[in-house]
A and B are shown apart, each in its own frame.
Chain A
Amino acid sequence: MVLATTRTVTLTIDGQQITVPDGTTIWAAAKAAGIEIPVLCHDERYDPVGVCRMCVVDTGARAYAAACVRPCEDGMDVKTATPDVERNRATLTELLLADQPPAARDPKQTTTGDNELLALAERYGVTRGGGLPVSAGRGADTSNPVIAVDHDACILCDRCVRACDDIQGNDVIGRSGKGYATRIAFDLNDPMGSSSCVTCGECVAACPTGALTNKPIRGIPIRPRTELKQVDSVCPYCGVGCALTYHVDTERGAIAYAEGRDQPGSKSRLCVKGRYGWDYAASPQRLTTPLIRRESAYPKGPLSADVRGEMNRPPGENGDGAAGGGRKGGKEGERRRRRRPGGLVDYAEVLPHFREATWEEALELVARRLTEIYAGGGPGAIAGFGSAKCSNEEAYLFQKLIRTGFHTNNVDHCTRLCHASSVAALFEGIGSGAVSTTYGDVVNADVAIVTGSNPTANHPVASSFFKQARRNGTTIIYVDPRADKMSDHADIFCQLKPGTDVAFYNGVMHELIRLGLTDREFIERRTSNYDALAATVADYPPERAAQITGIDADVIRRVARAWGEARAGIIFWGMGISQHTTGTDNARCLIAMCAITGNVGRPGTGLHPLRGQNNVQGASDMGLIPMFYPDYKKADDPDVRARFEGLWDTTDLDPKRGLTVTEIIGSALKGGVRAMYMMGENPFLSDPNINKVRKALAALEFLVVQDIFLTETAEFADVILPASSYLEKDGTYTNTDRRVQLGRKVLDPPGQARVDWEVVQDIANRIGLGWNYASAREIFEEIVSVMASYKNLSYDNLGPGGKLYPNPDPEHSDGTVVMFGERFNTDDGLAHLVPAEWLPAKELPSPEYPLVLNTGRLLQHWHTGSMTRRSFALDAISPRAEVYLNPDDAAELGLADGDMARVTSRRGTIELAARLSHREARGNCFIPFHFREAAANLLTIDEIDPFGKIPEFKFCAVRVEAALPGAPEPGGAAPGGSAGHAAAPGAGDR
């Protein structure tokens, strides 16, 4: 324990003289001296509570003291294990054991085998059933799909309570009842599965007994650690990049369970996706053989009714049991078929249009067709979409293939759809697209603004640090049109009208300047163009900002005062800032907010765009974007081009910037881009205006899709290559903090599926590039040699926790946390302030389309759902598409919770269940975009930000009405009736 004071105390523990900082507990002092004092309720990760009394020690006072809570005192003489103290512990163990389930039935002893109470029982030779009274039983709760609660095994140590509150900040677990009948309870003593529990599993990790345990997933038994193989890796989901350990059953070739692993950022924490969402890789629907489109399936078009946009097939017809190239469907396929009309791509409908092929034949065809189309159409005819889900090594090779093989910069990935505008603004403003500090640095901030972000769902572990910081005194200002859970943890919550961010921040800056709360010296020395900014924000007094944003002028003043008076202020933002036609302007405002108050370059200050995908930072670093070579070297700079021509031993690199994701779709429609290589992207669901994407994909002369599942996009493919999942390969991934971490191979790829970078290399060699990489490690070495920012990093020095870049000394240092302490990365070293005028969104509500639609993600799901909807836990918790409506709006529309609603925009119609949610403001609604049977992106508008080229996913006008059963509607996808939908047993986002 680190203490602010430097005063020390000296005491004796078991005869050893020990000096420790004042305030150190006896337990911690003993531990530091190598003396283990047994304890059940304490864990160093939590504040001590001293309730179990197992750690009592003799201090010579009248009564024994609980070592975990008693601070050391000068001259204390502590005896930790006198015969009487030990007798005390033995008796306590016996009393606790009396009510426990027998070891042979104990939920922990029979799984991971590490029940701490039973270990003490063994140590003290205590057995159960010594004539002590036994209670009638406090019951069990199996309502959560992946966590079992056995109240009989609970010793009320409060570890789970602290894990839930103090670590994850979810505030779900407490105690119910009193005396002997006391139990831990979820919310109002609700079943865990229907409580507000988000199934992060932190309580399971905390529990010393069998009270809270993991249930097996996909029938893989949970066994003691010693019988399983431990593979240290990183979570494959979001940009937080939590470190974890997979416990692998090698006999069964499957993961049994996952646990958080200590790492400077995530500190052993995980969310539901990381801890329970890894079984997608074991889905029977994995692609296992290369597939070639049959002659009969030309001319090309979508193959399934869903993707064609037809509706109302009878429920049950839409089986997704695998056939052909997939593994056999098995029980899971049966279960899904019965339960969910809609859902994932219908394998039975799509696969007959493809035939199995050898890798040789498939790769030969890919190389031949790409070469032919390139020969006929030139560089502009080819484009590639890589993926932010792939490793740095794969992203690097992929862009190198497109650039050196086809001499085009038409290579992009889904960063375009998330933070492209933030990156544009950051480059312009401070010369770097990466975060200026880590999410964990929030602990050093006086004030943190969280804006346009729903971190409890999208960056759950990062949000746990925000919530924890608030409990330790950081003021949280949450600015978001939705009252997401973060608002429950905010000191000031500004529920502004969607699309008014620029007006809000201009109003705040107006007030900062008026009150003189800016940092004159910083502005003078470290920024340029301040006068223009000041002139612009002068037009946004709080009253005007209030009119535009709907936020009270006094609240805007309060925000300005809090921010201006903070010694250290930090801003976290997400897609609510970036996914607007004014996304770049929004981010410019945030940069200016930090710059004019001197809140960059010191601990607890800075700019942190929370990255979405696990490797969106890395893929962008690797140059998987059309305007930059690796390390953000400008693609249209002749010197840069010459350098890469040298490095890559090639000529004729494309002198122009390439097309972005949205521009490539547009170009395909006009016959510009004629062939595409997609590695792990599914633009059909992820891109705006699906009806347009459908036409574009169908118009391609040749499409090769490399993926782990049959995606909607793959229905348009000429060749489908079975890829490896994250769990089946080695590679590095760079998280939102700039932390480069090693993801290690956990499982073997199924069937003939292959590691992605090897496939890229094979295609490269077939078009004559002559590559010869032997391993991911070798590719990483090339990356480091090409990219100054990754300098010094290697597979050998990344270590168990990964390393932050830039890192001058990775052998000894975790890397640079706070950047820009002295100068920014711009040419003149100054932060360039760019004023922005507020502009309304492109498509405003009208009488015909009166509601504003916002889209985004749920805690349980990931993007197009191809992984998470194949995860047992995530699918069980969140199985269906819903439109979130304010209860008053819903009442006006005649919709009750669970009713089917029809949502229509100028571009399409979908039907899905209505969910009444106090978190939506009136006039707004929210649809997660994971569900293809009700694809939100049929509705969204493909208007883009002029700088970042990012689509406006967060704002379009829609009409919501009650759906009449059986009335077909063109242009949407089939809900197929609600009869088959299981009710959500425990939807987390309440």
Chain B
Amino acid sequence: MATAQERVPGVEARAGKFPGPSLIPALHAIQERVGWLPREELVALSRDVRRPLYEIEGLISFYPHFRTRPPVKVEVHACRDLSCWLQGAGRRIEELRDRYGRDADVEVTEVSCIGRCDVAPAVAVNETPAAATADLGAVIGAARSGTAGEPEARSY
């Protein structure tokens, strides 16, 4: 390991300071297992891998994928990117917010492209993209009551 004297100035101070593998896979594993990232799990991870909590915070606050609250029953991801916006995403998001903004079971999140520009404005309910013509109310209702069926066959 280089001593302070040997270190080349100009190398960003934080870089390489915490040797070891990326923490992202470990965070994924927790989220997959628990559904989100409870504090106790993060504290235990920090202790196990001997990396500071703030390093974990930097990651989970940067990537929207990481959940720091328990998931709600119905997660609605509405794309806000250009193709969808041109197809009326703005209005659709506004409608969703009006309807579900105070609904404890439903969480509406604006996201970046989910790769379904073909059904723009794209919306995914619990990670299942809804058809452009789908009745979102019905899809969300089904997700809420746990009766949502298999995702429809994709028409690539």
Contact = CB atoms under 8 A, between A and B. Distances in A.
Interface stretch (A43-51, A452-460, A719-727, A734-742): A43-51
Interface centre among A3, A50, A171, A196 (most CB of B within 10 A): A171
A48 B13 contact: yes
B110 to A, nearest CB: 14
Interface in A157-181: 158, 161-162, 165-166, 171-178
Interface centre among A23, A47, A173, A175 (most CB of B within 10 A): A47
Contacts of A488: 50
Interface in A164-222: 165-166, 171-178, 185-189, 196
Contact of A71 (B8, B52, B56): B8
B101 to A, nearest CB: 19
A569 to B, nearest CB: 17
Contacts of A177: 61-62
B4 to A, nearest CB: 5
A69 B10 contact: yes
A174 B3 contact: no
Looking at chain A's contact residues, the main secondary structure is loop
A502 to B, nearest CB: 29
Interface in A27-84: 46-50, 69-71
Contacts of B127: none
A4 B9 contact: no
A187 B54 contact: yes
Nearest to B39: A188
Contacts of A136: none
Contact of A174 (B2, B11, B39, B52): B52
Interface string A15-31: 00000000111000000
Contacts of A171: 52, 54
Contacts of A967: none
A473 interface: yes
B53 A187 contact: yes
Given A177-B61, A188-B56, A918-B47, A25 B9 contact: yes
A574 B6 CA distance: 32
A473 B9 contact: no
B135 interface: no
A104 interface: no
A338 to B, nearest CB: 33
A188 B57 contact: yes
A87 interface: no
A2 B3 CA distance: 12
A423 B60 CA distance: 51
Contacts of A50: 10, 12
A430 to B, nearest CB: 30
B9 A48 contact: yes
A172 B52 contact: yes
Interface in A104-159: 158
Contacts of B22: none
Interface residues of A, number: 39
Interface centre among B14, B42, B54, B62 (most CB of A within 10 A): B54
Contact of A4 (B5, B54, B57): B5
Contacts of A49: 12-14
A185 B61 contact: yes
Contacts of A158: 13-14
A23 B61 contact: no
A25 B13 CA distance: 14
Contacts of B62: 177-178
A335 interface: no
B54 A174 contact: yes
A1 interface: yes
Interface string B32-66: 00000001001100010010111111100110000
Nearest to B51: A171
A165 B17 contact: yes
Given A174-B54, A188-B57, A48 B5 contact: no
A189 B2 CA distance: 32
B3 to A, nearest CB: 5
A185 B57 contact: yes
A472 interface: yes
Interface in A482-497: 488
Contacts of B12: 49-50
A918 B9 CA distance: 39
A472 B4 contact: yes
B69 interface: no
Contacts, number: 88
Contact of A173 (B39, B43, B54): B54
A670 interface: no
A11 to B, nearest CB: 15
B67 to A, nearest CB: 13
A184 to B, nearest CB: 9
Contact of B54 (A47, A48, A71, A186): A186
Interface in B93-125: none
A71 B9 contact: yes
B154 interface: no
A25 B11 CA distance: 12
Nearest to A487: B50
Given A174-B55, A185-B61, A187-B57, A1 B9 contact: yes
B1 interface: yes
B58 A473 contact: no
Contacts of B11: 47
A47 B13 contact: yes
Nearest to B18: A171
Given A176-B57, A178-B62, A188 B42 contact: yes
A189 B57 contact: yes
B54 A69 contact: no
Nearest to A489: B50
A514 interface: no
A139 to B, nearest CB: 14
Contacts of B14: 49, 158, 161, 165
A3 B4 CA distance: 9
A177 B59 CA distance: 9
Nearest to A918: B47
Nearest to B8: A23
A2 B9 CA distance: 12
Given A188-B42, A196-B53, A48 B17 contact: no
A472 B13 contact: no
A520 interface: no
Given A49-B13, A49-B14, A473 B55 contact: no
Contacts of B1: 472-473
Nearest to A47: B13
A162 B9 contact: no
B97 to A, nearest CB: 19
Contacts of B2: 472-473
Nearest to A184: B54
Contacts of B7: 47
Contacts of B17: 165, 471
Interface in A688-718: none
B3 A473 contact: yes
B151 to A, nearest CB: 31
Contacts of A46: 13
Nearest to B5: A4
Contact of B6 (A4, A24, A176): A4
Contacts of B52: 165, 171-172, 174, 187
24 contacts: A1-B9, A4-B6, A24-B9, A47-B4, A47-B7, A47-B11, A49-B12, A49-B14, A69-B10, A70-B10, A71-B8, A158-B13, A172-B53, A174-B52, A174-B57, A177-B61, A185-B54, A186-B54, A188-B43, A188-B54, A188-B57, A196-B53, A472-B3, A473-B1
List 6 tightest A-B contacts by C-beta distance, closest first: A174-B54, A171-B52, A47-B13, A187-B53, A473-B1, A69-B10
Given A47-B9, A49-B12, A175-B58, 11 more contacts: A3-B5, A4-B6, A25-B9, A48-B13, A50-B10, A71-B9, A165-B17, A185-B57, A188-B42, A188-B56, A488-B50
Interface of B: 1-14, 17, 39, 42-43, 47, 50, 52-58, 61-62
